[in-house]
Amino acid sequence: MKKICTLLLLCLFAITVAAQTDTTPSSKKLTKAETEEFFTNTFKKKNLINFPIFRAYTYHDKSGTYYVALSESADTVNKEKDTVNYTLKAFNFNVDKSISLKKWEINDFKTPNLKGEEKESSIWFWTKYCEFNDLDSDGLIDPIIVYGTFGTNGYDDGRAKILIYYKGQKVAIRHQNGVLDNERKTQVDVTFYSLPTQIQTHIKELMEKMVKNKHAIFPTAYAEKMDKKAVSISNE
């Protein structure tokens, strides 16, 4: 009986150790309670997180455990009762025991009014497209953050930005929607074409979803031009 108990304890210990050292990439969206538990008022003050946290995530891979906060300024509410943001910020923290180290931060804002004329009304995170997955199966999560703006014609002339974080490197695709063909412009960081093929393919599929959902109007034949590694894409 004593031997059985010892074996059971050893098995339990082995399972516990395995769970603690599991490096299989995983991620989840935090609940409101989980968000408040990690991003306490003290933590937010220390790390200058001054805007309300709209959405938070945690992910784990072979490099460690991370927490991400997407925050928006929530400046006012429009006549449609939608929250209007002039600025947004995102934060990524690597957590090791009781130490939290900021790995990266995003700061952006809507185009300022010019001579009283409003070109963009709001900016916000498009969480429908944000994700935290290991896209190239190298044991590391590849965060994708997407956000955009509303222009005078809503999505039709707003902007969109896709940010990919690959092994600490930020790679961006910046896009300007437009009602007219010649107003649509897409800028692709040259480093995008150095990313693993799986990630490039995934981003192109994400862009197709944005088009299907009428959140983006990319220039004609943009996919074919990206296949040729174009960095500046337009209809001109």
Domain that holds residue 195: 26-234
**Is the per-residue pLDDT at 17 higher than 60?**
no
Q: Does a structural domain hold residue 16?
A: no
Task: Quote the pLDDT of residue 115.
Answer: 78
Q: Does a structural domain hold residue 19?
A: no
Residue 222 host element (H or E): helix 222-227
Q: Name 229's Cβ contacts closer than 8 Å, sequence gap at least 6.
A: 190, 193
* Strand 64-72, strand 232-234: pairing: unpaired
**Is the per-residue pLDDT at 44 higher than 50?**
yes
Task: Quote the pLDDT of residue 10.
Answer: 38
pLDDT band per the 50, 70, 90 thresholds, residue 21: low
Least confident of 42-46, 109-113, 123-127, 131-135: 109-113
Q: Does a structural domain hold residue 21?
A: no
Q: Does a structural domain hold residue 8?
A: no
Closest to 95 in 3D by CA, of 124, 118, 133, 61: 61
**Is the per-residue pLDDT at 16 higher than 50?**
no
Q: Does a structural domain hold residue 204?
A: yes
Summarize pLDDT for 82-121 with one digit per residue, the tens. 899 999 999 999 999 889 999 999 999 999 888 778 899 9
Number of domains in the chain: 1
Measuring CA to CA, how many Å separate 189 from each of 109, 123, 147, 192, 205?
Answer: 20, 22, 17, 6, 17
Task: Quote the pLDDT of residue 164.
Answer: 98
Q: What average pLDDT is seen over the chain?
A: 91
Q: Does a structural domain hold residue 9?
A: no
pTM score, two decimals?
Answer: 0.89
Summarize pLDDT for 139-191 with one digit per residue, the tens. 999 999 999 999 999 999 999 999 999 998 999 999 999 999 999 999 999 99
Task: Quote the pLDDT of residue 81.
Answer: 86
N residues, the chain: 236
Average pLDDT for 18-24 = 62
Q: Does a structural domain hold residue 139?
A: yes
**For 72, what's the count of Cα atoms within 13 Å in the CB-facing half-sphere?**
22
- Name the 3-class secondary structure at 62: coil
Q: Does a structural domain hold residue 15?
A: no
